[in-house]
Amino acid sequence: MAQAPSHPAKTAVIAIGGNSLITDKDHQDVASQFNAVRETCKHIADMIERGWNVIITHGNGPQVGFILRRNELAAHEVHITPLDVIGADTQGSIGYMISQALDNEFTKRGIQRSVAAVVTQVLVDRNDPGFKNPTKGIGGFTDEASARQFEAQGWTVREDAGRGWRRMIASPQPLRIIELDAIKTLVANGFIVVGVGGGGIPVVQDEDGMLKGVFAVIDKDRASALLAAEMKVDLFLISTAVEKVALNYKKPNQVWLDRMTLSEAKQYYAEGHFLSGSMGPKVEAMIAFLEANPQGKGLITDPQHIVDALDGKTGTWIVADA
């Protein structure tokens, strides 16, 4: 049974990245994903044990890639799954993993909270310019020769952040979370919510108000920022592969950042410090959140340092200008 804290609690949206689900290329199977999720959920449970209400969002890029590959291998036997349905599939499977891992962690600790995973649609504009310029990597990384084969099939392909070649797909801006009221109701009644998985299932709305899935992928950090702003949360936390944000990342003059103001984040972003395939979308999401909700705070760190970061010992905090 859900049980909200007896005193007013702070609320956070926690966006967990791919490393929270798949630690490396040698641990991609479902059992390994479960292990990674369990480890991340220990740190989220630490936060909940301190009295936080949390809404968890997550990526799904590798899992979408796996299903696309299964589609290709099995196309001669069974029907191909449309991309919007693949998004729903991964929201369900990853939501199940997170829900079970948190439930079990709560049982160990004697925490009386319940978890609900919500399959979430997100409205986009059918005329979004992103549809004309696909920029979001989808599926696994490959070499150029294999990428050119995908290109011959009609895909846009591109070298992605020095990590290899990928198929690219439209990444329209999220406009409205369809299940927002359901998420609000669950949070108000003491539930820990898992939602907006993989950025949400992108849908467009016809003139008569009917929704329809589209061939696109919404950036999970953008969608998480929208959710955090709509929920007016106290904290928007992006859990990623690094403990802090850096300027000149992996260069001789690298500088780790403890804190950025909104203006500084905009400046560093404009100067090109954050790559589009790595930290760029995360900082962009923080900017969007703070512009919409200047009373909130942003935090970027890795899962194992969440509690230390909340205590001000590490992580990169992003705050509104004084």
Integer-rounded Cα radius of gyration of the chain = 19
One of 10, 18, 35, 42 is an active-site residue; which one? 18
Q: Is 108 considered catalytic here?
A: no
CA dihedral in degrees (58, 18, 313, 10; nearest 10)?
0
**Nearest alpha-carbon partner for 269 in 282, 256, 258, 252:** 282
Of these residues, 199, 244, 282, 298, which one is catalytic? 282
Q: What angle do CA 157, 159, 162 make, to 5 degrees?
A: 160
* Active-site entry in 53, 61, 136, 293: 136
Let me know if 18 is a catalytic residue: yes
pLDDT computed for residue 6 by the predictor: 45
State the chain's maximal CA–CA distance in angstroms.
61
Residue pair 41/113 in contact (Cβ under 8 Å)? The answer is no
Is 244 an active-site residue? no
Whose CA is closest to 19, among 192, 239, 243?
Answer: 239
Q: Which residue in the block uniquely carries the two structure tokens 């740190």?
A: 43
pLDDT at position 161 is: 67
Cβ-based neighbours of 175, under 8 Å, separated by 6 or more: 122, 123, 124, 125
Active site residue 132: no
pLDDT digits (tens, 9 = 90+) for 208-250: 999 999 999 999 999 999 999 999 999 999 999 899 999 999 8
> From the candidates 59, 61, 197, 220, which is the catalytic residue?
220
Mention every residue, 6+ apart, whose C-beta is less than 8 A from residue 227: 13, 55, 57, 177, 180, 183, 195, 196
Closest-CA residue to 37 (of 139, 112, 117, 113): 117
pLDDT of residue 155: 83
Instruction: Name, in order, each residue with C-beta under 8 angstroms of 229's C-beta and a sequence gap of 6 or more.
Output: 288, 289, 292, 293
- pTM for the model stands at 0.91
pLDDT of residue 103: 97
Give the whole-angstrom CA distance, residue 253 versus residue 249.
Answer: 8
From the list 192, 164, 178, 315, the residue with the least C-alpha distance to 246 is 315
**So what CATH class is 1-88+100-125+175-218?**
alpha beta
**Closest Cα to residue 219, out of 302, 166, 282?**
282
Domain boundaries, the chain: 1-88+100-125+175-218, 134-169, 240-322
Closest CA to 20 of 211, 257, 220, 185: 220
pLDDT at 179: 98
Per the structure block, which two tokens stand in for 244?
A: 């802090």
Q: Which residue has the tokens 């600790």?
A: 109
* Strand partners for 273: none
Task: Indicate the SS3 state at residue 116.
Answer: strand
Residue 104 CB-half CA count within 13 A: 14
Predicted pLDDT of residue 3:
54
Task: State how far Cα 262 lies from the chain centre.
Answer: 21
- Distinct helix (H) and strand (E) counts, the chain: 9, 17
Predicted pLDDT of residue 5: 47
Could you confirm whether 253 is annotated as catalytic? no
pLDDT value of residue 166:
86
Q: What pLDDT is attached to residue 2?
A: 53
How far is 285 from 221, CA to CA, in rounded Å? 6
Q: What is the pLDDT of residue 46?
A: 96
User: Which amino acid is located at 34 in the chain?
Assistant: F
Would you call 26 exposed, middle or buried from its count of C-beta atoms within 10 A (0-12, 13-18, 19+)?
Answer: exposed
Q: Which residues of the chain have pLDDT under 70?
A: 1-8, 19, 161
